Each structure stands twice: as structure tokens, then as C-alpha cells.
Structure 1
Amino acid sequence: MARGPKKHLKRVAAPKHWMLDKLTGVFAPRPSTGPHKLRECLPLIIFLRNRLKYALTGDEVKKICMQRFIKIDGKVRTDITYPAGFMDVISIEKTGEHFRLIYDVKGRFTVHRITAEEAKYKLCKVKKILIGTKGIPHLVTHDARTIRYPDPLIKVNDTVRIDLETGKITDFIKFDTGNLCMVTGGANLGRIGVITNRERHPGSFDVVHVKDSTGNSFATRLSNIFVIGKVRSGFVLVAVDRRVESEFGAMMITYGFDL
């Protein structure tokens, strides 16, 4: 007889991108239920202990979190197994540090430091648009946010920029050919490129063709594409706003885009 959700996760069954060694123990921290899936998230304990090295043990991570030093997307989180995911902003007030979770070229979450100004917003992919009770339009994002009364021009697969303090949409980027995107799933996880074509397959998965900075083309499912900016006449306008360039600038130079 089942007694609620599972509480354990064997270390060998944990996602590979957590980069846990096999010999340190039998178990891995099982992420709590939250806005990101188990295999697409990074628990807070792994970020603080294994990535930042701010703690040596799980107990030390618990002491840090229970002092309410850690914020994710502007909200204090005391759960050490809270599932942080793609584009989440992790803030440590005590040290004045801010991080955004994004993928590296090998599809692993990287420690990407950002400024306090950049930590005020995040980008979210629109997963669903629906009409709720009393005819109120709703929009659901990839991190399980529900936003009422969105701009009628925003459609599924577009990317919205959200002010973390108010939770309101301040800008959006359309899912169009010629725009810059990052792959968030599949064999090409972590790659950045320009959308060149979209193949529609009714009843199956739509396929998107992407061209990266070296001129190599690859294809992936539409559900794996996350639009992060606009490309016009060779210049990259990341996330509509020039201020975001400092955040993605190093990454774009790595991929060879001209800023």
C-alpha cells in the first residue's frame, strides 16, 4: 500500500548532470515536488554544497537555509531539496551574490553569476494559454507560474520576461525564425543557435531546425526550444533588452556570436 510520494533516491539513479560521485554514499537528495521536474532540476543542497562549496555536509546546508539566507526568484526557501531549474535566480543576501541557472555546452547546470540588476527579472517560456472562470485569460509558464490577463499577442512557445518583485510580464519575445534560442532538452541540450525552420507534424512532434555560430545545423523537438533573444542584421539583442547582454555576453562570445 502506497503511503504518499517517494522520499528516497538512489545515487546511481540520480540525474547525471548533478555530477555526483558513486562512492560517497548510497543515496542522493531527492528533490521536493515543485516547479521543475526531478530530472530537469538542481536541488538547493547540491548547488550550495557541491557547486559553490559553501557547506561540507547536508546539515550545514540546512543551517544556512534555516537562517533564511537563500532566496530563489526573490522568495526565501528553507527546504534544502527545493528544485531550482532553468532560468531560476538564486540569491544569497549575506554575500550579495546572485546566480542564474543556465546550461553549459554539455547540458549541465552551470554556476552563472549575475548582477543585482539582472537578478530582478527572469525569462519564462509560455507552455499553455487558457481561458479561466469568468472568461479571464491565463498563461502558464515553464516554471509553473500562472499569470492572468497576459498580452493577447503572446502565444504558446513565446518567451516572457517577468519582474520577480511584482510577478508581472514586462516584455516578451515571439517564437519566430531568425530568433536566438537555447535547447533545454534532448541530445542537443545546452546548445545555442538561431531558429531557421519549423516543421509542423500534426498528431506528432513539431521539429525545429537550429543553426549555431559555427554554421552547423541540427534539429530538435519544439518542446525543447527556449527563445532567449532576437537576432537582427547580425547583431544579437538578447531578451529584447541591451542590459541583458552582460549576462549572456560571455556565453555568446563562447558560441561565437557577434555582440
Structure 2
Amino acid sequence: MSDLVSIIMPVYNGEQYIAEAIDSVLAQDHENWELLIINDGSQDKSAEIIHTYLDPRIHYFEQENAGVSAARNLGLTAMKGDYFCFLDGDDRFTPHSLSSRLAVFEDQTDVDFVDGQVEKWNQDFSKHLSTWNPKFRGQPLSDLVKMTGHSFFGPSWLIKRKEGKTYQMMEGLSHAEDLHFYIKLAADGGNYSFSNETCLLYRVHNQSAMSNLKGLGAGYLTLDINLDQLDLPPSLRRAYTRKRKSIMFKSFLRAGKVWSAFRYLFG
């Protein structure tokens, strides 16, 4: 039997897109997977749609609304896979998403995290906006903290599960929670690599993280504070602070929010 991959999918009021996300998992050419769908207190027809899928590899959980990190944590606790990854309920996998990344693990036995290309599409998937290409191989901690964009787009890593290790995300964050999670993983050691194939089709719409600048800025700031818990060189800590202020300053300016831009920069 080939390696089991756990796919963790949080859903909150996702009736418009959830079927597309599930169908993209069912279309995988690597068939040994389990899909853990966590309904995070949805008030729409998400549960009704999910229950139409009878594949025994799909496992359904419900919780009161507690946020994406809490939903993912439920999946992380319940997963049984040799590898695991995340898929949001409004995005899609490509058919080779799992197999292309697993092939890298097979070829490069010293890696712990494998990424792939990410295509950004508009809300109805009628227009391809851009493609993110990973550009880093090796120990990713410094690269992640510096936020170069070479080893991190979003929740697109396939992660080799370590026996006996507990995986949990910081709850209460609505933005940058996946970056914080990956930084914690990298701080414990491990190498990053990537496939040259596209693994994720990312939907850009009004609920996308980058559209909520205040929430994103708050997430970056919370992450800055929590980096103090890691034994990082002072120069690396300063590099993160400079980068998150630069990102948010430019983002606020592009949105025409000049006062917010300078308040974040000097706050």
C-alpha cells in the first residue's frame, strides 16, 4: 500500500465552492488519502452538500465556530496519514497535487516539507491571474522568517509526519496562521524542497486573506510577538519586523490608506 496522505479541509459557510474542493480531491491520481472535513459552525448548506459524498475516505467533523486554526487542529488531532497537508474549502487541488509532491519525497529522502507551484485564479476560475513558483531548497527557517516568498505562499506544503510529534496551530489568528505553523515546524528542523508541477489552484475573492489588511497586519504583529518564544538570532528577528512592516506599509498605500500605512510602519 502506498503512503497515506491526510488532507485537512476547514469549511465555514462554503456552500458555493465546497463541492469543487472535494471533487478535486476525488480526482487525485494518488488514491491512498483521507479527507478530513471540519465544518466550523457553518450556517449555510455546507453540511448538506458534504453529506452527499459517500466515499469512505471522507471523514466529517463539526464544531462550533472557532476559526480556521481550531478547525485545522481538530483535523491534525484526528489524522492518520504518513503525510499531511491542508486544502481550504474554496480552493482546488490539481489531479497530480499529491503524486507530484510525493515523488519529491521519494527522490529526495532527506526532505520533510515539499511544496509545488500555486496558480492564482479569479473568483469564478475564468481568469488565471498569476503563478507562484517556489525558489528555495534546504532548511527553510531563515527564509520563512525573512518572508522572502521563496518557500512560502500559503497552506501548500505537504509535510512528512514525524512519529510521536504533536501538530497544532495557534488559535485565535485569522491571518498568517499557516506561516506561524510552518515557522514552528522549521524551527524543529527539517528540509524543504518542491515539485515543478502545480499543486494548488488558489481562488482570489473578497474573503481571501490579503483582502483584509487590518486582519493581516494584526496576524503579522502577533507572529512577531510569538517569535520571541523561538531561539532566533537577533538579526533574524529584526529582519522579520522590517519585512512585515514593509509589506503592510506598501499594502495599505496600494489600498489608498495612507494614515494606516504610516501608523503600522511606526507603530
Q: Is TM more than 0.5 here?
A: no
Decide which structure has greater strand share: 1
Larger Rg: 1 or 2?
1
Decide which structure has greater helix share: 2
TM-score w.r.t. structure 1 length? 0.29
